[in-house]
Amino acid sequence: MLPLEQIRSLLMDGKPVLIFDSSSRENEVDMVFYAPKIDSHSITTLRKIAGGLICYSMPRKVGEAIGLKYMDELLRELGYGDLTGKVLGYGDPPNFSLWVNHKDVMTGIRDADRAKTIKELDKVVELVLDGQVKEAKSKFYSEFISPGHVPILLGRGLDVRRGHTELSLSLAELSGLRPSTVIAEMLDDSGALSKEDARKVAARIGTMLIDGSSIIEEWLARKQ
C-alpha cells in the first residue's frame, strides 16, 4: 500500500519524490515535485540531481479547457505530418503540448525564471479545476509567451497511458493534491539512472522511491 500521507507531506514540504515507471516501459526514474511548491531551488535540484528535461504536467482535460493541443497535432495541421506518427521504443505517443515562458521572466531558462513560469501555470490549472475556465484562459493567453523554456505535458490518464506524466498526476490526486506536477528524468553519464542508484539518491536527499506499479494498484483500487 502506498504511504500516501508521507508522500503528501513530502510534496507539500516542497521536497521531491522519485517514481520508477516499469522495466517493460522506459525503465526510468523521474524526480517529481508538486508544482504549487516549486521554487528556484527545486529547479536547481531537478537540473543538477535529476538531469533530464524539466517539464510541467497537467491533465489533458485541463489543457483542453484552455485550448491546448498536443504538439504532434499542431505539427500535422501545419504540414509536418512526416515528422509525427512515429513511436519511440517505449511505445507511447508523446504528451508534449506548447513550450512557454511567463511574460515576467528575464530569459526563461534561469532557475528562477522556470520556477516563475511553472508557478503561474499551476495557477491556471487551479482556476480551471475551480470552474473558472474563462479566467484561466484569460490568464494563460495574456501572461504566457510561446515558444518558451517550459514544456507543457498533457497527461492522458492511467487508463490510456502509464508514463511518468500520468503516474505523477495520479499520485498527486491519490495524495489529495491537485494534479499539477513538475517532472524530469534521472540520468547518469551512461544513460538512465538505474533504479538501485535512484534508491541511493532518495536516501541521500531524504525522500522515497515509488514504484509505478504501486500507484497503478492504488488507482485501480479506487476505481472499484
Residue 78: CATH number of its domain = 3.90.870.10
pLDDT of residue 13: 98
pLDDT of residue 96: 98
Catalytic positions, written as ranges? 30, 55, 90, 101, 149, 185
Pairwise CA distance, residues 11 & 172, whole Å: 9
> What rounded mean pLDDT belongs to the chain?
96
pLDDT of residue 92: 87
pLDDT of residue 118: 99
Between the alpha carbon of residue 18 and those of residues 11, 29, 40, 49, 63, the distances in Å are: 11, 6, 19, 11, 25
Pairwise CA distance, residues 46 & 42, whole Å: 6
pLDDT of residue 80: 96
Here the cell at position 96 is 508534449
pLDDT per residue over 44-98, tens digit each? 999 999 999 999 999 999 999 999 999 999 999 999 999 998 888 888 889 999 9
Residue ranges for the chain with pLDDT beneath 70 = none
Q: What is the Cβ-side half-sphere exposure of residue 141, based on CA atoms within 13 angstroms?
A: 11
Give how many domains the chain has, as a whole number: 1
pLDDT of residue 191: 96
- Which structural domain range is residue 204 located in? 4-223
Assign 32 to helix, strand or coil: strand
pLDDT of residue 87: 87
* pTM listed for this prediction: 0.97
pLDDT of residue 70: 98
